[in-house]
Amino acid sequence: MVTASALGFPRIGAKRELKRLVEGYWSGKTDTAELLDGVHQLRIRHWRLQADKGLDTVPVGDASLYDHVLDTSVLFGVVPVRYQSLQPGLEAYFAMARGLQRPATESAPAIDVPAMEMKKWFDTNYHYIVPEFEQNQAFQLADEPKILAELAEARALGLQARPVLLGPVSYLLLGKPARGVSAASFDRFALLPALLVAYVELLDRLTAAGATWVQIDEPALVLDLSDAARAAYPIAYRQLAAAGQSKLRLLLTTYFGSVGNNLDLLTQLPIHGVHVDLARAPEQLDAVLNALGADQHLSLGLINGRNIWKANLAHALTLARKAVAKLGTDRVIVSSSSSLLHVPHSTAGETAMDAEIRDWLAFATEKLDELAVLAKALNNGEDAVRDALDDNARVAQARAASSRTHNPETQRRLQTVQPSMFKRQTAFESRRAQQQARLKLPRFATTTVGSFPQTREVRQARAKLRKGEWTQDEYAVFIRAEIERTVRFQERIGLDVLVHGESERNDMVEFFGESLQGYVFSQGGWVSSYGTRCVKPPIIYGDIVRPKPMTLDETVYAQSLTSLPMKGMLTGPITCLQWSFVRDDQPRRDTAFQLALAIRDEVSDLEAAGIPVIQIDEPAIREGLPLRRADWDAYLAWAVDAFLLSSTGVSDATQIHTHMCYSDFNDIFSAIKRMDADVITIENSRSDLKLLSAFEQHSYTNWIGPGIYDIHSPRVPSVEEMKERLSAILQFLPNDLVWVNPDCGLKTRGWPEVEAALTNLVAVARALREKA
Ligand code: GLN
Ligand code: ZN
């Protein structure tokens, strides 16, 4: 019989119950017993849901109070020294996750430990806590592993439970050397033997507790692996295969792409089953089927764990039938491509959404239905699920034919995009002269990245508009007052290029999405970003149309208040794409170009209204990079083209800025250069000077504003500190190319600290001007 299972389920809960419980615990409103009982209930509800939907096996151990990679570290005793003096259990766990500050009491000294580092989980928007390894890291299985308790819980409910572990090789690859361990001498795979001892002990205990299959996630197998990493796999899995007196079966899962050249490696391993991602990489099925050993099972990742569209079940069945023909039903599992952690809980609550579009969506709960239908069709014949299959085909057809997804004018424009639309009229040298003549800016010109503090008042104003307590006009009056205050503030501080402050925007993507056709918003489509924090990505379902200007009123109003140049603020096409769920019925590139055309029109409108400077933010351009190096160039080609399409429809005298943050940009430097923005403001104040030497090495000639104020912290950098930062910058960059600005937008900061920091920033720029 073909069985069905998901690799993991969203942990946050239909109503974000996990958030309420954990944050209640942090604030002292919820005690430990309530917290543990609450998450226990939540786990059970999610297992039951999977079983009730008809799935044969439920994953156990994928849920977490904060992060499953942190859980793995705690499971094996990988606790950095600075947390070891804390109470083991929840106190140490949450301190690792988010830091801990506690004043001294009579009996205990003060505690002040920062959180561990957080990083993006592969190419998702989920962030994991980066494990820290000592040179000779010891691994010690926890006394009472949480996963054993959860296995017992699930089994007590009569469920077929499959524990989920992060595999040892991926785990080592995701970590980094602890503080004080030199990166050069650190060999992570030297830790493997000791780590495997702990894994074997755990597998033995899981077997004794009744586990028959264990799911071991090795997503690193879809990456380009070093020789050392490749060599670690056979060593690791030979040892793990012997665990549980060889009674235990291991399902090794790969996801987020194709195993590609790691297939030979994978099929050498003594494992009982393999899972592959057929949503992102359906083309790998034949090769995998051919490479599979005689008794190995294959779990087919057919239902997309990374997107929110209903599956094409007919297509999924074609792939599954191929597997069944070769392996027989008993060796085939139908599954989600990855954990369902990356999609929202259910569409059931989306009552306000346009019904036609809602019908096209499948969140995690609806994906369970799809898995059950696939298994039934394979086991009992398609007639057993005729209605579900017909309905699925009807929806696919309706979506393909819907006038909601197709806009003839947008498509016509896409067809008529010319090569000249990816280029400014002249080279930077001549633009620079024209912009200088127009703007007359001093050397070391100062500006900000766009947003100013979003106070409670601003958020309340938005809430009042949303709830209907305020009319659109009342809200507009409020926003105008905010803009005026922000403009006057910047004039007083002495900045050179001003902004309107973005007080009308809740989020830099959502704001534009709400003004564009082709976007829809869910009410409860929350997805975990880190810990209890969730995001609600907008959904791009159709061709993009800009019915009217989106930022013109506020920007023109702001410019009317001042004789200083006003900078219009837009979000770039790649960032809009990257932070949304994107339609799957056309290449991402086409969607990016449609967004770019809408932004290009906005840029033209701003220019026509006399706005002399326009910034198009692309903080997410690097995170769109494919997981495999070989795919980078193709992505960067269209991503940069999309930016150029959005930004080049202006005269030479209009100054285009872009802004980037959140990552290390050295490896995409030539792409940044090709973007040809007149000014790039870029996060820099925390990073070393590598970035700057990259600008130097690539003889970057346009203006650059490396941030000298870290806006992620409430700290106010002193004049001295920023001066030092700037002198270091000027070691690498010519004086006349440098702008002076913060690292990113100021929306999370408070006015007093912003005032102090920007006052210092302007003082530093002025002092330098006098010297130069
Ligand atoms: N203009 C945006 C702001 O200032 C940029 C935000 C970002 O880069 N993430 O808020
Ligand atoms: Zn930024």
What pLDDT, in 10s, does the model give residues 144-169? 999 999 999 999 999 999 999 999 99
* The residue to which tokens 């785990």 are assigned: 171
The active-site residue, picked from 315, 406, 698, 712, is 712
| Ligand nearest, relative to CA of residue 451 | 1
Which residue's CA is minimally distant from atom 6 of ligand 1? 745
Q: Which of 256, 263, 320 is nearest to 288 (CA)?
A: 263
Contact (Cβ atoms closer than 8 angstroms) between residue 324 and residue 379: no
pLDDT of residue 663: 66
Rounded to 10°, the helix 146-156/68-75 angle is 110
* Cα-based angle 421, 425, 431 (whole degrees, multiple of 5): 135
Q: Give the closest ligand to the alpha carbon of residue 551.
A: 1
- What is the distance between the alpha carbons of residues 242 and 636, in angstroms, rounded to a whole number? 45
Distance 724 CA to ligand 1 centre (A): 25
684 and 717 Cβ atoms separated by less than 8 Å: no
Give per-residue burial for 406-437: e unless 16+ CB within 10 Å, then b.
ebeebeebbeeeeeebbebeeebeebbebbee
The alpha carbon of 720 and the centre of ligand 2 are apart by a number of angstroms equal to 24
- Taking only the tens place, the pLDDT of each residue in 270-308 is 999 999 999 999 999 999 999 999 999 999 999 999 999
Residue nearest to atom 4 of ligand 1 (CA): 745
Residue type, 29: K
Q: At which residue do the structure tokens 């090794």 appear?
A: 252
Instruction: List phi, psi (to 5°) of 362.
Output: -135, 110
Question: Nearest 10 degrees: CA dihedral of 437, 439, 442, 443?
Answer: -80
Cross-strand bridge partners of residue 176: 132
Beta strands in 308-410 (DSSP E): 332-336
- Tell me if 67 CB under 6 Å of ligand 1: no
Q: Please tell me the class of the 425-771 domain.
A: alpha beta
CA of 709 to the centre of ligand 2 (A): 12
- Check the annotation: does 683 bind a ligand: yes
Whether the CB of 621 sits within 6 Å of ligand 1:
no
Residue 534 marked as a ligand binder: yes
Q: Which two tokens stand for residue 732?
A: 């690498």
Reported confidence tier of residue 77, pLDDT bands at 50, 70, 90: very high
The answer on whether 350 is annotated among ligand-binding residues is no
570 CB less than 6 Å from ligand 1? no
633 annotated as ligand-binding: no
Q: Is 744 in the pocket of ligand 1 (CB under 6 A)?
A: yes
Q: Known binder of ligand: residue 579?
A: yes
Q: What is the pLDDT of residue 688?
A: 65
Asked if 500 is an active-site residue, the reply is: no
CA atoms of 456 and 120, how far apart (whole Å): 29
CB 299 within 8 A of CB 251: yes
| Amino acid 692: pLDDT | 83
pLDDT at 772: 65
Position 687 scores a pLDDT of 64
Contacts of 517 (CB under 8 A, 6+ apart): 407, 542, 543, 544, 545, 546, 547
463 close to 488: Cβ distance less than 8 angstroms = no
For atom 9 of ligand 1, the residue with the nearest CA is 619
DSSP-based three-state secondary structure for 542? strand
Going by alpha carbons, the residue nearest to atom 8 of ligand 1 is 619
Which pair of structure tokens corresponds to residue 343? 């999609």
Question: Residue 582: pLDDT band by 50, 70, 90 thresholds?
Answer: very high
User: Residue with the nearest Cα to atom 1 of ligand 1?
Assistant: 450
Which ligand ends up closest to the CA of 661? 2
The reply to whether ligand 1 has any atom less than 6 angstroms from the CB of 754 is no
Question: Is the pLDDT score of 493 beyond 70?
Answer: yes
Of 366, 367, 386, give the one whose Cα is nearest residue 376. Answer: 386
Q: pLDDT at position 371, please?
A: 98
Answer for the pair 728, 693: CB distance below 8 angstroms, yes or no: no
pLDDT per position as a tens digit, 666-693: 789 999 999 999 999 998 876 667 788 8
Is 661 marked as a binding-site residue? yes
Distances (CA, A) of 270 to 166, 252, 292, 727: 17, 10, 11, 57
The interface predicted TM-score of the complex, written ipTM, equals: 0.99
pLDDT class of 94 with cuts at 50, 70, 90: very high
> What is the spatial distance between Cα 455 and Cα 479, in angstroms, rounded to a whole number?
12
pLDDT above 90 (res 633): yes
Ligand 1 atom nearest 448 alpha carbon: 4
Q: What is the mean pLDDT of the chain?
A: 96
Q: Which residues pair with 704 in a beta bridge?
A: 680, 738
Residues in contact with 391: Cβ distance below 8 Å, sequence separation at least 6, in sequence order = none
Cα–Cα distance between 537 and 458 in angstroms, integer?
22
Backbone phi, psi, residue 58, to 5°:
-115, 140
Question: Residue 632 Cα, ligand 1 centroid: separation in angstroms?
Answer: 25
Say what the pLDDT of residue 518 is: 97
What pLDDT digit, counting tens, does each position of 193-202 carry?
999 999 999 9
Choosing from 448, 449, 555, 571 the residue with most ligand 1 atoms within 8 A of its CB, the one to mutate for a pocket test is 449
**DSSP symbols for 471-506:** -HHHHHHHHHHHHHHHHHHHHHHT-SSB--B-TT-S
Tell me the pLDDT tens digit for each residue of 585-632. Answer: 999 999 999 999 999 999 999 999 999 999 999 999 999 999 999 999
Q: Is the CB of 366 inside a 6 Å radius of any atom of ligand 1?
A: no
- C-alpha span between 162 and 175 (Å, rounded): 25
Ligand 1 centroid to Cα of residue 619, in Å, is 8
Task: Tell me the pLDDT band of 108, cut-offs 50, 70 and 90.
Answer: confident
Is the distance from the beta carbon of residue 661 to the nearest atom of ligand 1 less than 6 Å? yes
For ligand 1, the distance from its centroid to the CA atom of residue 744, given in whole angstroms, is 6
The string of pLDDT tens digits covering residues 417-473 is 999 999 999 999 999 999 999 999 999 999 999 999 999 999 999 999 999 999 999
Ligand 1 atom at shortest distance from the alpha carbon of 619: 8
Secondary structure of the chain: what % helix, strand, coil (to 5)? 50, 15, 40
CA angle 753, 758, 759 (to 5 degrees): 100
Q: Is the sign of the CA dihedral 179, 90, 12, 18 positive or negative?
A: negative
Q: Is 617 annotated as a binding residue?
A: yes
Over residues 36-41, mean pLDDT? 98
Q: Indicate whether residue 306 lines ligand 1 (CB < 6 A).
A: no
Nearest-atom number in ligand 1 for the CA of 747 is: 10
Q: Give percent of the chain with pLDDT exceeding 90.
A: 93
Mutate to test the pocket of ligand 1, among 490, 659, 710 (most ligand atoms within 8 A of CB): 659
The whole-angstrom separation of Cα 205 and Cα 147 is 10
Question: Domain limits of the chain?
Answer: 57-97+117-191+203-214, 425-771
Instruction: Judge whether 576 is annotated as a binding position.
Output: no
- DSSP SS3 for 180: coil
Give the phi and the psi of residue 5 in degrees, each rounded to 5: -160, 160
Ligand 1 and 659: CB distance under 6 A:
yes
What would the mean pLDDT of 352-381 be, rounded to a whole number?
97
Give the pairing of strands 517-520 and 539-545: antiparallel
Q: Are 43 and 163 in contact (CB under 8 A)?
A: no
pLDDT band of residue 190 (cuts 50, 70, 90) is: very high
Output the pLDDT for position 246.
Answer: 80
